[in-house]
Amino acid sequence: MLDNQPDSNDDSAHSLITRAKYIPSELLPVRKTPTGRAALVVSVLLHPLLLPTYLFLLLFWMSPSMMGVSNDDIRYRILLLLIVCTLLIPLLSTYMLYRLGSVKSLHMEDRQDRIFPFVSTTLFYMLTTYLFVKQLSALYLITLILGGTTFCLLVMTVISFFWKISVHSTSIAGIVGFLIGLYYHYAAVEYFYPLLLVIILAGVLMSARLYLNAHTPAQVLAGAAIGLSIGLGTILMMG
């Protein structure tokens, strides 16, 4: 008689952590749980468009001389330029695409929704990197990190034409890579504790994306591997 009863562990065997297929329709119900809301807050606060701003704020605050922005006025101007070009303009362009109907949801659960926003954001990043290379090349480390970020975004955009890779995990793993590179290549020991914090946040963010059923484990791990490789490789090979 017991053999005919359904196994109560069957559902857990197909949990968010072990499932092999991303199903967009499963995303919204998960968000309605307390843990789901917390995971959504984490995803928003650590959004890929916000992470470069967080990184530059950290770098400008902890190592202004190494970044070439020891002058307060120059530091604030460069930071404002970076925020406008890498955050505000991409955000506005994505919202415009949403209003025009090119994007069905700002959460971009479907891979197809990512294409236009990713392409436009990549173009903005490329133009910003070109501006720094041509006009602000003296700020070498800033230009280098911006270039690495742009290349990472370009890779994500190309992959998104075929596969819904996790850009959240790519972005935060990229920051981990940059900080590891600065720590070892420039002996910037002041980044030890920020690096530990970012590694912890990376684990929390990746877990949140999995809990929300936003990605498969393979998509999260692949994104992390690419981000870490590009971030670390940028500093070690070109720093």
| pLDDT top residue among 10 and 174 | 174
Residue 193 lies in domain: 29-238
Q: Kindly report, residue by residue over 147-162, the tens digit of the pLDDT.
A: 999 999 999 999 999 9
Task: Render pLDDT for 38-67 as a digit per residue (tens, 0 to 9).
Answer: 999 999 999 999 999 999 999 999 999 999
Distance, in Å, from the CA atom of 239 to the CA atom of 225, rounded to the nearest integer, reads: 20
The reply to whether 220 falls in a domain is yes
Express each pLDDT in 159-192 by its tens digit.
999 999 999 999 999 999 999 999 999 999 999 9
DSSP string of 64-100, one letter each residue: HHHHT--SHHHHHHHHHHHHIIIIIHHHHHHHHHHHT
| Integer CA distances (angstroms), 191 to 42, 55, 70, 197, in order | 23, 12, 18, 10
* Domains in the chain, number: 1
Q: Is 15 within a domain?
A: no
Q: Using a pLDDT cut of 70, give the percent of the chain over it.
A: 87
In a domain, residue 196? The reply is yes
Structure tokens at 176: 């981990």
24 pLDDT above the threshold of 60: no
pLDDT at 203 over 90: yes
Distance CA 1, CA 222 (A): 45
The answer as to whether 8 is a domain residue is no
Q: What is the pLDDT of residue 27?
A: 54
Residues 131-157 have a mean pLDDT of 94
Domain assignment present for residue 81? The answer is: yes
Cβ proximity of 171 and 227 under 8 Å? yes
Give pLDDT, residue 90: 94
